[in-house]
């Protein structure tokens, strides 16, 4: 329980699902701005402790993210840590039991899709977890997958980073390496191609490789070469913790702008990036699109076009401000973004 001592969140609900051997962890980091909102991550972890730590870190990131979007939501996250021998036929039943738990929390926690879950899973969770589930399929009355609108925000972040680096948001000819061509990274690659940027990608999934390399002709970078590959923008769109002492020393990019949550392994990595002169766009500023867009459409009645425009405007406005504060105060962009989030959290007291 050591991680909980340093977390400064509100509380955590933990349930062992006896039928499957999965752990369900719902971390409520902050309800200061409203009910805690955050996706449901479902995957295998090497240990329970790592699953708990991930849930805590991801919930904290959601607090920062919603503070930046100015939506009336706090931060939370659910992790469903699957056992090694998980029987995929149990998936729907597990999700229903999880939904019942979300329902029991009575609106303290709202959820949506995340790594390892899709809109179709949200439909199942909503059977027992309604009305606290965002991102169901359009057929079930939801706004669908949160990946594409997240990618739009990341794409906007890349434009803002180029404006900062090169004085123009024009992406023509800029080399952008996308780590992870999944729901967010895959859509991002399409936006980059439309803007005539040079997209490169890395992935370990055979289907993604087949689609992006064989069918679209995009250059595939081998996993061991990702960090040292020369590019203008490195865009982490897979899992977190990838920016650390070891990888930062090898980076050969001008800026980092990606959709993955918790890219920095530790706070000090922001200093390491600054020392290397690499412009870091804080993840929870550029990846707000899913959380902001999907909750905007479903809870605030925005049209899709309106949601897209608001996501783009917010990423642009906040990221420009982050870069300006960091330059003026000679602090890391991560600290500048935390200041902006803290302002909003304090205002609401
Ligand atoms: N996966 C989203 C994120 O990390 C969470 C989310 C998606 C929350 C959709 C609400 C609705 O930001």
The structural domains of the chain, with segments of one domain joined by +, span 2-60+75-139, 147-288+317-343
- Tell me, what's the pLDDT at 1? 76
The pLDDT mean for the chain works out to 97
The answer to whether the peptide bond before residue 131 is cis (omega within 30 degrees of 0) is yes
Is the CB of residue 112 below 6 angstroms from any atom belonging to ligand 1? yes
158 C-beta closer than 6 A to ligand 1: no
Decide whether 2-60+75-139 matches 147-288+317-343 in CATH topology: yes
Residue 2: exposure state from Cβ atoms within 10 A (0-12, 13-18, ≥19)? exposed
CATH code of 2-60+75-139, in short, is: 3.40.50.10860
CATH of domain 147-288+317-343: 3.40.50.720
pLDDT digits (tens, 9 = 90+) for 96-142: 999 999 999 999 999 999 999 999 999 999 999 999 999 999 999 99
Categorize the per-residue pLDDT at 347 as very low, low, confident or very high, splitting at 50, 70 and 90: confident
Q: Which residues are catalytic?
A: 77
pLDDT digits (tens, 9 = 90+) for 307-332: 999 999 999 999 999 999 999 999 99
Please indicate whether residue 294, judged by its CB atom, sits closer than 6 Å to ligand 1.
yes
Distance between Cα 151 and ligand 1 center (Å):
12
Number of neighbouring beta carbons within 10 Å of residue 132 = 20
Ligand 1 centroid vs 112 CA: distance in angstroms? 5
Write out the DSSP string of 181-228: -SHHHHHHHHHHHHTT-EEEEE---HHHHIIIIIIT-PEEPPGGGTTT
pLDDT of the residue at 349: 64
């Amino acid at each position: 329980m050591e991680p909980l001592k340093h977390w400064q969140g509100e509380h955590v609900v933990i349930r062992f699902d006896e039928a499957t051997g999965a752990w369900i962890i719902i971390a409520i980091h902050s309800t200061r701005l409203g009910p805690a909102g955050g996706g449901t991550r479902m995957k295998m972890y090497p240990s329970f402790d790592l699953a708990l730590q991930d849930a805590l870190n991801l919930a904290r990131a959601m607090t920062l993210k919603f503070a930046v979007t100015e939506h009336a939501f706090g931060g939370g996250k659910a992790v469903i840590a699957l056992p090694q021998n998980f029987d995929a036929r149990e998936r729907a039943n597990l999700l229903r039991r999880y939904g019942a738990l979300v329902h029991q929390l009575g609106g303290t926690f709202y959820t949506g899709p995340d790594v390892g879950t899709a809109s179709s899973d949200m439909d199942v969770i909503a059977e027992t977890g309604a009305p606290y589930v965002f991102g169901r399929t359009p057929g079930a009355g939801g706004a669908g997958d949160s990946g594409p609108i997240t990618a739009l925000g990341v794409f906007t972040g890349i434009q803002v980073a180029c404006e900062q680096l090169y004085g123009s948001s024009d992406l023509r000819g800029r080399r952008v390496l996308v780590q992870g061509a999944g729901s967010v990274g895959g859509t991002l690659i399409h936006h980059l191609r439309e803007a005539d940027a040079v997209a490169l990608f890395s992935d370990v999934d055979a289907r993604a490789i087949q689609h992006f390399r064989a069918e679209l002709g995009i250059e595939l970078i081998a996993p061991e070469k990702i960090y040292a590959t020369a590019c203008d923008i490195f865009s982490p769109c897979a899992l977190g913790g990838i920016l650390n002492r070891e990888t930062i020393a090898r980076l050969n990019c001008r800026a980092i702008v990606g959709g993955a949550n918790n890219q920095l392994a530790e706070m000090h990595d922001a200093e390491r990036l600054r020392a290397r002169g690499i412009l870091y766009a804080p993840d929870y500023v550029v990846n707000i699109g899913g959380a902001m867009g999907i909750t905007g459409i479903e809870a605030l009645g925005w049209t899709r076009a309106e949601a897209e425009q608001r996501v783009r405007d917010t990423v642009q406005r906040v990221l420009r401000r982050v870069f300006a504060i960091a330059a003026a105060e000679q602090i890391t962009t991560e600290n500048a973004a935390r200041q902006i989030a803290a302002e909003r959290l304090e205002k609401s007291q």
